[in-house]
Each structure stands twice: as structure tokens, then as C-alpha cells.
Chain A
């Protein structure tokens, strides 16, 4: 049991880190809706994997990458209406996921495997999945470092970057690809519907706390890891569902960040009034 817990803790830190980081980029590049669709496609993939007896992580990755590719291509071909296609993928994926879950009930699958898809499970982490997580982390960090200037230019102004000859589409595609893979891998802990708590809450909190882009990235990925880790420990101690606990922790962190910001703003204004 201890060994499983150690694996889960490591996976929580890695998933939290990765989700927080990719969430930061997705938010700054304004492709949140697209990543939302990719996440739901991953959920659909995982659910289908469940009834077809595949490892849900792998079917999730396949679905996530395919939807990322479709959205990426649409991103190049269509100047407007990306959001619409994105919403179509989102609702279709959710439908597939719910159907699959419904059908899996009929087939009386072990509840543990449904739990993985729906609300996450401590038991779902294996050494193999952990190794994949580490590999993805290395790849992602390499990508970010290798294309630092290109990505910075896009974070600053996507349209200007494109006008200057940057391959904006390829980088958007790469980001969606990473988002898809990272979401699929983080499922194990949070469950499909709550993976967003690790994806968007940390970056939202980071945006409250600092204005510097690199600090935002650092904070977002740190807060992601802290949320996942704390959520895991609390859920283990209190025997709560792990995904929901992580979501509650990350939402609490967001709330605290917001309160902190409001308080410092008020203090600053008071100081200004006094001089």
C-alpha cells in the first residue's frame, strides 16, 4: 500500500506541475476553449477504452491527439469559427463519454475502472504510467526551452508573430498536443470531469499573484503540484474521492489568491491616499 501511495504522490506532483504549466500557455495563447475540447475528447477516449477493454489512458491519448490535430488543422484553415468546431467536438465527446459509461454499467465492469474515468483513483497509478509522465515532462520542458523566443513572441502578440513569419500554427498544434497528452495522463488522479481543476485553477491563481510572465508560469505549475499533492494526502487521510478533493483544494487556492490580491490592492490604495 505504501508503495502505491508513493507512486501516487509522485504522479500527483508531476501531473500537477504539467497541468499548471500547460494551463498557463493555453490561457496566454487564448486556446482555452480548444484545450477544453481536447480534454473532453480524452474523456471520450478513456470511456470507450473502458467498454472496449483497452487501457483508458492510451485510448484517451489517441483521442486527445486526434482532436488536437483536427483543431490544429482547422486553426490554420479557418480564421473564424474555430470556437464553434471546438464546441462541436466538446459536446460530441461528452456524449460519447456518457454513452460509454452508461453502456459499461450494463456490462457490469469493475467499478474501479469507471472510477478512474469519472473521479480518479489512487490505485490507478503504475510505474509504467509514471515513467510516461516523466518522459512527457522532459519533452515539454525541452520544447519550451528550445522554442523560448518563438513561444514568447506568441505569448506577447500572436498576430504580430504570425505577420513576422513565425510558424504560429505549428506551435499552437504542439501546445494542444501537449495539453491532450498531459490531460490524458492526469485523468488517473482527478477523473475526467475534474481535470480542469488542475488545468485552469492554478493559472488563474498565478495571474492574481504576479504580473511577470515567467513568475506566472512558475507559480502556475507549482500551485498545480501543490493542489494535486495536498488533495491526494487529504483524500487519503479522510477517505474522500481523490479527484474531487484535488478540485476543492485548487479552487480554495484560487480563492485565497484572489483574496490576497484584493487585500494587497486595498493596502496599496490606502498607502497612496496617505501620502
Chain B
């Protein structure tokens, strides 16, 4: 286990650039997120929201400044241990029609990092998957191939996978983009309750018109690779 600090995410003067691009996608970002808090990140297209989320998880590395996840520098090899405590819902989650993994299997695969060789899921983990699926209204889809689901249904599946892993931090990139109004309300409620009950952290990229805004502890606005307002920035 990595040494735990109070901060789940801590970005200190972070600059990130995509290779091949001479313009930084994120400039001098400072951000702290602690347990039990729900942080909403908003901003126009190309503002750097996805870049921020992926930097927190260490999928992108800063070329200046430092990024810590659960106190682990994202450049350290121990970052994997920190990531195991996180769940991620990527922005581009939609799978093509021929993708044949079933919904159940896809949610189960979220437990892969916790498993050693030849190990499969426990009874309890499967029960949890069932429970989360019912919570998100996808219990009837569990044995369907993912490719045959609608965009909104697929989005519920990735959110179910994220929640099933019992993460201590949730990183959700536009988790409402394909959901209908009921779905947006439901997911907002489920995620915020999860954050309160488990003292977890959630960083959610979303437009502030979504119902999640009423649960947000902090709203960070980004534009042009910079944080332009929000009480988390230094």
C-alpha cells in the first residue's frame, strides 16, 4: 500500500503537452481534491478537461510540475497501486456493434487488477455486480453483448463497472453525455450518495446544466488549458 495522504489528487503547477503538439494542453494547473468531496469540472470543448482527468490518473505525465494520486507521484511505478483505488469512465466508451463481450463480463473485468493468477470473481463480488446493475437499471441487459446496446445503455454499463469496484476515487469524463433526463438524475444521485457514504472522492467532467451540479462541493471552470475559477486552485 502506498502512503496515504489526506489529498486524493494533488496537482502542483502541472503542465501537460501531447507529443507532436507545441502548445501545452494544460498550463500551470493546481488542484487538490480530498476525500468525501465531489468536484465538478466544466468548460468549453478543447478546454483541457479530459487532459486534466487523465493527468490525475497518470495516463498523461506532466512535463513540468508534479501530479500525485493518493500521495503517489504519477511518474512512479507505484502509481498502479494508487490506480487500483480509482475507477474511470472514459469519454469515448462506445463500442462497435461487433464487440461481443457481455455486459456482465465487462463489469467483472473491472475486478481484474485485484486478482492474482488463476483467480476469478468471488460470490460476493458477483452479488455486488448484480446489486449495482439493479441500481442503475441494467439488470436485464447483463447477458447481452455490449455492442448490441444503445449509447445510453452502454454508458450505464461503464458507470456500473466503475461503481462495482468500490473505488475510493471516481474519475468520470462526461458520464451523462448519452443519458436521458431520468438517467442523468439517477446517476447524479447514485454517485453523490456513493461519495458521501464511502467518503470517496469524485471528479466529474460535465456541463453545469446537469443535475450533478446540486451535489457538487466545488466547481472548477477551465478554458484554454487553464483553471479560470474554482476554490481549489492556488
Contacts and interface: CB of A to CB of B under 8 A. Distances in A.
Interface string B139-178: 0000001010000000000100000010000010000000
Given A163-B59, A163-B171, A150 B112 contact: yes
Nearest to A76: B77
Nearest to B98: A211
A132 interface: no
B109 A153 contact: yes
A164 B98 contact: no
Given A159-B59, A211-B98, A79 B19 contact: yes
Nearest to A152: B109
A164 B113 contact: yes
A146 B112 CA distance: 12
B209 interface: no
Given A79-B60, A156-B101, A213-B101, A165 B90 contact: no
A163 B88 CA distance: 6
B98 A80 contact: no
B100 A211 contact: yes
B57 interface: yes
Interface residues of B, number: 39
B86 A149 contact: no
A53 B20 CA distance: 44
A162 B111 CA distance: 12
B128 interface: no
B109 A165 contact: no
Interface size class of A (residues with CB under 8 A): 20 to 34
Contact of B86 (A80, A81, A148, A163): A163
B59 A164 contact: no
- Give the secondary structure class of B's interface: loop
Interface string B77-94: 000111111111010000
Contacts of A157: 90
B34 to A, nearest CB: 21
Given A153-B109, A156-B109, A163-B83, A146 B118 contact: yes
Contacts of B196: none
Given A160-B88, A164-B83, A152 B60 contact: no
B218 interface: no
A164 B100 contact: no
Contact of B112 (A81, A164, A211): A164
Contacts of A161: 109, 112-113
A166 interface: yes
Interface of B: 18-20, 57, 59-61, 80-88, 90, 98-101, 105-106, 108-113, 115, 117-120, 145, 147, 158, 165, 171
Given A80-B20, A152-B101, A165-B85, 6 more contacts: A148-B120, A150-B112, A152-B105, A153-B112, A164-B88, A164-B112
